[in-house]
Amino acid sequence: MTDHDIRVLDDSQYRAAHALFRGTLHRAPTPDDQWKYVQESYEPGRALGAFADGEMIGTVQSFPSTMAVPGGAVVPHAAVSRVGVRADWTRRGVLSALQREQLRAMRSAGDVVASLRASETVIYGRYGYGVASRYRSLRIDRHHAAPRTRPAGRVRLVEGEAGERIARELFEELSPGRTGTISRWPAWWGLNVRRRMADENMKIAVRSGASGDDGYLVYKVEPGEHDPGDEKPTTLAVLDLWARDAEAWADLWLFVLGIDLVVEVTASGRPVDEPLQWLLGDRRACRMTDEYDETWLRLLDVPAALAARTYREGEPVVIGVRDVYLPENSGTYRVAAGGVTRVEDGAELVLDVDVLAAAYLGDVSFSTLAATRRLDVVEAGALRRADALFAVDEVPWCGSYF
């Protein structure tokens, strides 16, 4: 018998839930002048609370979205966020109860996959989330970058609502597109762009080519000292950059590198295969400062998820899946170039649903997962076949923080 219960929250409880969540991150509640942006991001029926003795002791939420999977299909996706349990109630089953209820609700609502960004990486594997994409952080010495080329189009600054509108329209054209990219819900823009434009001196630049607007950049500058020898350089942070093609992408980066009185350029959340160094005369001016896990993916409906993506040509493989929290996913699946079938055959590879999620978008191979003892190999030749079937041309990347 548990000493807490899980309920769907209504709008009168959102602020308390958000304050609880921020408290688990050791942050103060959202100020009154910022609350309207947060309030807009709560979707009816998608926020849960755990209660004990009439008090909220935990919460979790998701945003409605879609995700691109290998082959170009787009599936219903839940973006999970604001997960927290009050410090005096941790390690008493509250988070597990919230996760169980949320996973069941998202699947019942028709979401095929869910994803989150993990504050602590040891938490979410037990609930079926696996690391399915990565991103990198960069630091560029602008004075030594020496770009090899000049802009081909025009990049202009666009202020206020007009800048946000153009950026949003371009993003919605471009994502979901690349494997792992997601759609952004309307309140994402209020929280991450409109709110911050006023308080953080953020700017939006739009690139135009022969066919019109084809890329945008959101950035902010942290002023430093401009005298030689000063230890606080002026830094430009690239926050969001999307382009329709390579020409627009290059022009946006050339614009960044051409802004005067900037010493360092930083960028986080960028694709691991972004070829920025090749744009520079001195490639050592660009350093990768870190690489992080990005998308923690959860397959809510394994048959639907496996059926949604495409596979390379190759011999079939039979995969056995274990899922403790959504046992209807547990079973054996024959994966072939032409599709996926649920079967009663003996499995050649056996794995938990978080491991399947890690391999699903193509960022990691089954052979790598087997080498690190993350799955059971019944038939040795199955690894080669699974690697071939699940291979992708481009590493997955999301590019949207939530």
- Secondary structure class of 61 (helix, strand, coil): strand
- List the structure tokens of 295: 């998308």
Q: Which amino acid is at 99?
A: Q
- Within 10 angstroms of residue 307's Cβ, the number of other Cβ atoms is 17
- List the structure tokens of 274: 């972004």
Cα angle for residues 269, 135, 205 (degrees, 5° grid): 30
In angstroms, the CA 208 to CA 152 distance is 9
List the beta strands (DSSP E) in 117-180. 130-131, 134-141, 154-157
Clarify whether 402 is annotated catalytic: yes
Catalytic residue among 14, 127, 129, 402: 402
Clarify whether 390 is annotated catalytic: no
Note if the bond before 151 is cis, omega within 30 degrees. no
Alpha-carbon distance values, 55 to 9, 36, 89, 124 (Å): 13, 24, 11, 25
Catalytic residue among 14, 21, 37, 124: 124
DSSP structural state of residue 42: P
Tell me if 38 sits within 8 A of 49, measured CB to CB.
Answer: no
The three-state DSSP-derived secondary structure of 260-323 is CCCCEEEEEEECCCCCHHHHECCHHHEEEEEEEECCEEEECCHHHHHHHCCCCCCCCEEEEEEC
| Catalytic positions | 124, 402
